């Protein structure tokens, strides 16, 4: 099936000239100074579109230019991967596992090609409860304070922050908040010892998995005889 497309209407010469003459006096001399040479070899006003050559469909479309821009971006990262990334080998260091005092785990996400992504400043902090320097009463009070941020299945605490546009500020806020929680949990922890933990947020993950008892399996010999 053939489709026909109508050519968009072109503004009249009178309307174009009216628009050009309405430009500020400071813009008209500048546009003449930046005149472009068209077929006749004479310098003309760049804003005077009435003297432009007729479009002969010899240029790329908007979709074509978008495709070229996408190729340029891909080639940019390919050049970085070939010429820039190998230079980082000089700064490589052997892996060293974290020590017992390094118990905090921070996680961030970087979106390639989107430096201003709204989720880029977000920082997530995870810490194992067994690595906290707290006694049992202090740990119980600490878990009461963190509330649903405690995962009883993995036995870890997870907190996140995206209040600030700068990622370093979110790092600082999480670190300061954790220090305040630890300090508060050490203040008279025995007073909170009788309060139970509210684990309703993790009830779904704490459900025991029902498995078929092995004693109910049909013996192999009996199964073969019945078959």
Average pLDDT value for the chain: 80
**Tell me, what's the pLDDT at 35?**
44
Tell me the per-residue pLDDT of 181-221, one tens digit each, with 9 for 90 and over.
999 999 999 988 889 998 888 888 877 777 888 888 888 77
Q: How far is CA 70 from the centre of its chain?
A: 20
Asked whether the beta carbons of 180 and 172 are under 8 A apart, the reply is: no
The whole-angstrom separation of Cα 69 and Cα 61 is 13
Strand pairing category for 123-128 and 36-38 = unpaired
The whole-angstrom separation of Cα 73 and Cα 167 is 26
195: CB partners within 8 A, 6+ apart: 144
Query: Which of the two residues, 22 and 123, has the higher pLDDT score?
Result: 123
Tell me the per-residue pLDDT of 2-60, one tens digit each, with 9 for 90 and over.
444 444 444 445 554 555 555 554 444 444 444 444 444 454 566 677 777 776 778 88
CB-CB neighbours of 99 under 10 Å:
7
**Tell me, what's the pLDDT at 171?**
96
Least confident of 65-74, 84-93, 94-103, 122-131: 94-103
Report whether CATH 3.30.870.10 matches the domain 105-202: no
Residue 1 pLDDT > 50: no
The whole-angstrom separation of Cα 184 and Cα 27 is 67
**Tell me, what's the pLDDT at 113?**
78
Does this model's pTM top 0.85? no
Query: In this structure, what token pair is assigned to residue 179?
Result: 């220090």
């Amino acid at each position: 099936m053939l489709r026909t497309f109508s050519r968009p209407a072109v503004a009249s010469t009178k309307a174009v000239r009216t628009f050009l003459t309405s430009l500020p006096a400071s813009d008209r001399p500048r546009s003449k100074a930046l005149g472009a040479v068209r077929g006749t070899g004479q310098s003309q006003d760049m804003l005077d579109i009435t003297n432009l050559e007729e479009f002969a469909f010899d240029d790329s479309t908007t979709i074509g230019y978008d495709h070229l821009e996408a190729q340029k971006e891909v080639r940019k990262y390919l050049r970085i991967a070939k010429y820039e990334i190998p230079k980082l080998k000089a700064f490589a260091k052997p892996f060293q596992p974290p020590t017992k005092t390094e118990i905090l785990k921070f996680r961030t996400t970087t979106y390639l090609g989107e430096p201003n992504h709204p989720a880029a400043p977000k920082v997530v902090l995870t810490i194992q409860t067994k690595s906290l320097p707290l006694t049992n009463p202090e740990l119980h009070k600490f878990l009461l304070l963190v509330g649903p941020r405690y995962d009883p299945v993995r036995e870890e605490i997870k907190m996140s922050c995206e209040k600030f546009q700068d990622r370093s500020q979110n790092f600082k806020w999480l670190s300061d908040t954790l220090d305040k929680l630890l300090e508060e949990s050490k203040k008279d922890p025995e007073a909170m010892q009788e309060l139970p933990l509210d684990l309703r947020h993790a009830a779904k993950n704490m459900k025991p998995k029902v498995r078929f008892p092995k004693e109910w399996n049909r013996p192999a010999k009996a199964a073969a005889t019945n078959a």
